[in-house]
């Protein structure tokens, strides 16, 4: 399993949790002590964001990190895995 897929899944899960709690990105940024841009990057699964920022967002949403076995990418995730960034 590649790291980009794992981060994309984590970002999607955090976005879903934020929305389920009725929070805007700005609300979550304030709770986590981060700029809104960082929330956007985290929800996109940006690998350049520190693990500390991911942890701050998870904690602000009432979650903690837990390890689970990796699963294969879904059909919805496949286009992102196959995109090499070229036009």
Percent of the chain with pLDDT over 90: 66
The stretches of 1-87 forming alpha helices (DSSP H) are: 3-20, 25-32, 36-43, 51-60, 78-82
For 49-60, write each residue's pLDDT tens digit.
999 999 999 999
For 23, the token pair is 């929070």
Four-way CATH pick for 3-82: 3.40.718.10, 1.10.10.10, 3.40.50.300, 1.10.260.40:
1.10.260.40
Alpha carbon 42 to its chain's center: 4
* Model confidence pTM above 0.75: yes
In the chain, which stretches have pLDDT less than 50? 86-87
Domain locations along the chain: 3-82
- Predicted local confidence at residue 81, as pLDDT: 57
- Predicted local confidence at residue 86, as pLDDT: 46
């Amino acid at each position: 399993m590649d790291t980009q897929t794992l981060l994309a899944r984590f970002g999607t899960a955090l976005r879903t949790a934020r929305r389920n709690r009725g929070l805007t990105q700005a609300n979550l940024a304030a709770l986590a002590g981060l700029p809104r841009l960082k929330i956007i990057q985290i929800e996109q699964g940006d690998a350049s964001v520190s693990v500390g920022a991911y942890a701050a967002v998870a904690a602000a949403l009432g979650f903690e990190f837990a390890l689970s076995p990796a699963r294969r990418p879904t059909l919805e995730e496949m286009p992102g895995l196959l995109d090499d960034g070229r036009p």
